[in-house]
């Protein structure tokens, strides 16, 4: 994904569209039939040195080991919690995977239904059984702030090239922001500034396909932040 500047073709493809028949390496969201590569999802064709793939325009988040996500506890067991991470499958969080020592049956004292947590996807096996963990630096229960949900396909736009977009929003709004790979974004900060940050995220979501988005968002933030003039 790094070398995007080498003039990739931006073409919307639908499932079944022929992408390539010259033997380029088939990448994500493609399938091969009779030596030809076809698209398997609705998305944007992406050709680079790694082969030919399709960047999806929609669809559901599919957890991958190592992703940091934001989850909501939706069920409590005696030795685990069930977390909703916007995936097609339930994600159990076992008591061994939290930074506290939890007695058997005492799970509700630490995390309760409706609590929001930052998690890491520990493992996804062949049958798509998910395991998540909180045992890593920076992972914790999120208190205060607000959650914005966007389609997961647009997360990369919110983060921007090597984090440029999110870094800019963080710096300019002075908010604490955390972006989960599953499309949940947690924002905490001064009321007015957090509202502007939320609006900026919503703006990215609405204009995810347009160019120069970082510039547009910057202009938007400069205009809408209450005291941006003194700050600059």
Partner 1 sequence: MSGHTDMVLVDKKGIRIDGRTADEHRAFKIEAGVLNNADGSAYVEIGKNKVLAAVYGPRECHPRHLQNPSKAIIQCKYNMEAFSVSDRKRPGPDRRSIEISKITAEALESVVLTELYPRASIDVYIEILQANAGTRCAGLTAASVALADAGIPMRDIIPACAAGKADGKVLLDLNKEEDNFGDADVPIAIIPSTDEIVLLQMDGNMTRREFDKAIKMAMGACHELYDVQKDALKRRYSVDCKEAEPDEQ
Interaction site with partner 1 (CB under 8 A): 1, 4-5, 8, 10, 12, 14-18, 29, 31, 33, 38, 40-44, 55-60, 88-90, 126-128, 153, 156-157, 160-161, 164-165, 207-214
Q: How far is the CB of 16 from partner 1 (least distance, A)?
A: 3
Q: How far apart are CA 1 and CA 160, in angstroms?
A: 12
Q: How far apart are CA 50 and CA 3, in angstroms?
A: 10
Token digits of residue 151: 């389609």
Residue number, 14 or 108, with CB nearest to partner 1:
14
Residues 6+ apart with CB under 8 A from 150: 158, 183, 185, 201, 204, 205
Q: How far apart are CA 147 and CA 194, in angstroms?
A: 11
Q: In the beta sheet, which residues pair with residue 26?
A: 52
Q: How far is the CB of 192 from partner 1 (least distance, A)?
A: 27
Residue number, 25 or 128, with CB nearest to partner 1:
128
Q: How far is the CB of 196 from partner 1 (least distance, A)?
A: 21
Residue number, 69 or 142, with CB nearest to partner 1:
69
Q: How far is the CB of 223 from partner 1 (least distance, A)?
A: 21
Residue number, 33 or 223, with CB nearest to partner 1:
33
The sign of the CA dihedral 43, 47, 49, 52 is positive
Residue number, 108 or 206, with CB nearest to partner 1:
206
């Amino acid at each position: 994904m790094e070398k995007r500047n080498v003039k990739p073709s931006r073409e919307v493809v639908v499932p079944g569209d022929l992408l390539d028949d010259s033997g380029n390496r088939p990448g994500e969201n493609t399938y091969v039939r009779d030596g030809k590569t076809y698209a398997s999802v609705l998305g944007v064709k992406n050709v680079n040195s790694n082969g030919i793939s399709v960047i999806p325009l929609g669809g559901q988040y599919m957890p991958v080991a190592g992703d940091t996500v934001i989850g909501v506890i939706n069920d409590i067991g005696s030795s685990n919690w069930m977390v909703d991470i916007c995936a097609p499958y339930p994600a159990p969080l076992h008591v061994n995977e939290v930074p506290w020592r939890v007695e058997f049956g005492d799970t509700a004292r630490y995390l309760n239904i409706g609590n929001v947590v930052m998690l890491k996807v520990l493992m996804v096996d062949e049958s798509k059984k998910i395991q998540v963990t909180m045992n890593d630096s920076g992972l914790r229960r999120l208190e205060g702030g607000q959650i914005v949900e966007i389609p997961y396909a647009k997360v990369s736009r919110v983060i921007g090239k090597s984090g440029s977009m999110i870094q800019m929003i963080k710096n300019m709004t002075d908010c604490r922001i955390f972006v989960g790979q599953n499309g949940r974004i947690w924002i905490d900060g001064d009321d007015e500034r957090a509202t502007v940050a939320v609006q900026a995220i919503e703006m990215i979501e609405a204009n995810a396909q347009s160019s120069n988005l970082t510039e547009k968002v910057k202009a938007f933030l400069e205009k809408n932040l209450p005291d941006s003039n003194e700050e600059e």
